[in-house]
Amino acid sequence: MLKVDEEITSVSRLRELMPTEGFTNTFLKVTDQLNDVACKFIAIAPFIVVATKSSKGLIDVSPKGDPAGFVEVFDNRTLIIPDRLGNHRVDGFKNILEDPNVAILFIVPGHGDTLRVAGKARIVKDRAISKRHAINGKEPLLAMVVEVQEAFMHCSKSLIRSRLWYPDSWPARKTAPTLAEWVLATVEREQTLGDVQDDHSTDEKTRLY
């Protein structure tokens, strides 16, 4: 086990090290519904990250993306997220069946601030929703409906520090490991790296919607 100088085990000690003084706006900016600012942000966000938790406590974090505004604001307390074709693991959906609590991070490319939303989710199969969220004539089979309980904007410091939106700081793309490499490292199979990559490339071209 990793040895450290101190492990923080209480809120009182945490607050001793990270006091609330001087951060009034940080604690007052939270709302229990989607205001006009949140709705405008959601309308231009093409990418979100959804966090769910299983009954055993294991956390799943799933990226989801579509054309900007793909998450529907049904009303100021309800979001609808269409489910697109994936790997059929349905980790997030299985977690929601065990624990409906979810958290969502909305990201707008090139923009420093992010929007954080948390609430209760359910999985639905609804004809009207599927029709509204069809792309290229392909309707999503299922959707996630989220009852909003908390929403607030998050500052840009993490994105500034990471230089996420600055191409000159990006590593060379070809140096990053690929999903195909992961598959070969974890699954016994006779395919070559090229074979697996071809399979994934075909999937990306034919199973987006």
List, in sequence order, the alpha helices (H) in 9-126: 11-17, 24-28, 36-44, 91-98
In the prediction, which pLDDT does 39 show?
98
Confidence of residue 115 (pLDDT cuts 50, 70, 90): very high
pLDDT digits (tens, 9 = 90+) for 69-108: 999 999 999 999 999 999 899 999 999 999 999 999 999 9
Confidence of residue 25 (pLDDT cuts 50, 70, 90): confident
Q: Is the Cβ–Cβ distance between 88 and 157 less than 8 Å?
A: no
pLDDT digits (tens, 9 = 90+) for 116-151: 999 999 999 999 999 999 999 999 999 999 999 999
CATH topology of domain 30-162: Pnp Oxidase; Chain A (2.30.110)
How many beta carbons lie within 10 A of that of residue 59, not counting itself? 10
Q: Is the pLDDT of residue 20 over 90?
A: no
The rounded radius of gyration (Å) of the Cα atoms in the chain is 20
Give the predicted TM-score (pTM) of the model.
Answer: 0.92
What rounded mean pLDDT belongs to the chain?
95
How, if at all, do strands 101-107 and 47-53 pair?
antiparallel
Residue spans of the domains in the chain: they are 30-162, 171-206
Among residues of the chain, what percentage have pLDDT more than 90?
91
In the prediction, which pLDDT does 159 show?
96
> Greatest CA separation found in the chain?
60
Q: Is the pLDDT of residue 63 over 80?
A: yes
In the prediction, which pLDDT does 3 show?
96
